[in-house]
Amino acid sequence: MPPSSSLLLRNTIRSLQALAFGHLFFTRFYSTGGCSGPSMLPTISTSGDFILISRLHTRGRGIRQGDLISYLRPDQPDVLVCKRVVGLEGDFVLVEPRGPAILEELEELGLIGEGAVGGTMEGVEEARGRCEMVQVPAGHCWVAGDNLDNSRDSRHYGPVPLGLVRGKVVGRIWPRPGWFENGLRRVEEENEFGLD
């Protein structure tokens, strides 16, 4: 075989190997995607970030509270979204994490309660219902956006089945490349004397 044919064959084989490796890498281990909208501010910008998703966490394998995940919305299975895991199987979570303070604020503003214009006690009960705790069922997780005021999440469509989880969002590729860290801090329990 002439040297040029040998070189062409070798380069073709290397190119095919690189393509096969790239295909395997992006179908089995990682994928990329765009993410935009106000629900994950300030972690992800509204103009859209290009993110890296670990497919090793498909179906919720190995996810923890505080992780960012990419999943199909339970109420719109053709829509892929990104939110933060707040609770896992067996955890108790507040439907409205801002809690009873929201109730007080709404009542003070006259938006709910008997003093509200056209208001009834039903408005108070509806708001109180959002302040209750629920237990995350087996095979599910509870998710919320970092920007609660602009997020449709588990507060609206309930716990997310782990089967809908497409992966864990591990980093941003563009515009400011970097790795995402778990955004939750562990709150340590103290006894009544403040001692461990």
For residue 124, being part of any structural domain is answered with no
> Which pLDDT value is given to residue 132?
82
Token pair for 181: 């860290």
Whether 136 is covered by a domain: the verdict is: no
**Does 71 fall in a domain?**
yes
Cα separation, 80 vs 33, in Å, equals 10
Q: Structural domain tally of the chain? A: 1
Is residue 163 one of the residues assigned to a domain?
yes
Please state which of the ranges 57-61, 78-82, 119-123, 127-131 shows the lowest mean pLDDT: 119-123
Residue 49 lies in a domain: yes
Helix, strand, coil percentages for the chain (3-state, nearest 5): 35, 30, 40
141-158 pLDDT tens trace: 999 999 998 999 999 999
The verdict on residue 75 lying in a domain is yes
Handedness of CA 134, 140, 145, 146 (dihedral sign): positive
pTM reported for the whole predicted model: 0.75
The answer to the question of residue 25 being in a domain is no
User: What rounded mean pLDDT belongs to the chain?
Assistant: 85
Which amino acid appears at position 114 of this protein? E
DSSP state of 191: -
Q: Which domain holds residue 49?
A: 30-87+141-184
Give the domain CATH number at 75: 2.10.109.10
pLDDT tens, position by position, 52-110: 999 999 999 999 999 999 999 999 999 999 999 999 999 999 888 766 666 677 677 76
Residues with catalytic annotation?
Answer: 39, 83
Residue 1 has pLDDT above 70, yes or no: no
